[in-house]
Amino acid sequence: MWFAERADVGIVSADSRQLYRGFDIGTAKPSPAERARAQHYGVDVLEPTQRASAAWWARSADAWIDEIEASGRLPLVAGGTGLYLRALFGPLFEEPPLDAERRTALDGVLSSYPTETLRAWVQELDPIRSRLGRTQLLRAIEIALLTGHRVSALHESHRRPARRRARYLVIDPGPLLATAITARTQAMMRGGWREEVRGLMQAVPGDAPAWNGTGYRTIRALEQGLLSEAEAERQILVETRQYAKRQRTWFRHQLAGEHVTRLSTTQPDWAERAMAWWRE
CA angle 213, 173, 232 (to 5 degrees): 35
* 40 and 141 inside one domain: no
* 75 and 195 inside one domain: yes
What would the DSSP string read from start to end of 202-226?
HHS-TT-GGGGSTTHHHHHHHHTTS
* 108 and 64 inside one domain: no
* 74 and 115 inside one domain: no
Beta bridge partners of 77: 12
* 171 and 207 inside one domain: yes
**Is the residue at 2 inside a domain?**
no
pLDDT attached to residue 164: 83
- Best CA proximity match to 184, nearest among 28, 17, 13: 28
* 207 and 196 inside one domain: yes
**Is the residue at 134 inside a domain?**
yes
CATH number of 133's domain: 1.10.20.140
Task: Per-residue pLDDT tens, the chain, 280 aa: give them.
Answer: 999 999 999 999 999 999 999 999 999 999 999 999 999 999 999 999 998 888 889 999 999 999 999 999 999 999 989 889 988 987 666 667 788 888 888 988 998 889 899 999 999 999 988 888 788 898 899 999 998 888 888 777 666 666 788 999 999 888 899 999 999 999 999 999 999 999 999 999 998 999 999 999 999 999 999 999 999 999 999 999 999 998 888 888 888 676 899 999 889 999 999 999 998 8
pLDDT attached to residue 95: 67
**Is the residue at 3 inside a domain?**
no
- Could you tell me the pTM of the whole model? 0.78
In whole angstroms, give the CA distance from residue 136 to residue 162: 21
**Is the residue at 4 inside a domain?**
no
Full residue range of the structural domain in which residue 138 is found: 96-157
- Strands of the chain, DSSP E: 9-13, 40-41, 74-78, 92-93, 159-160, 168-171, 260-263
Overall number of domains in the chain: 2
pLDDT attached to residue 3: 94
* 170 and 147 inside one domain: no
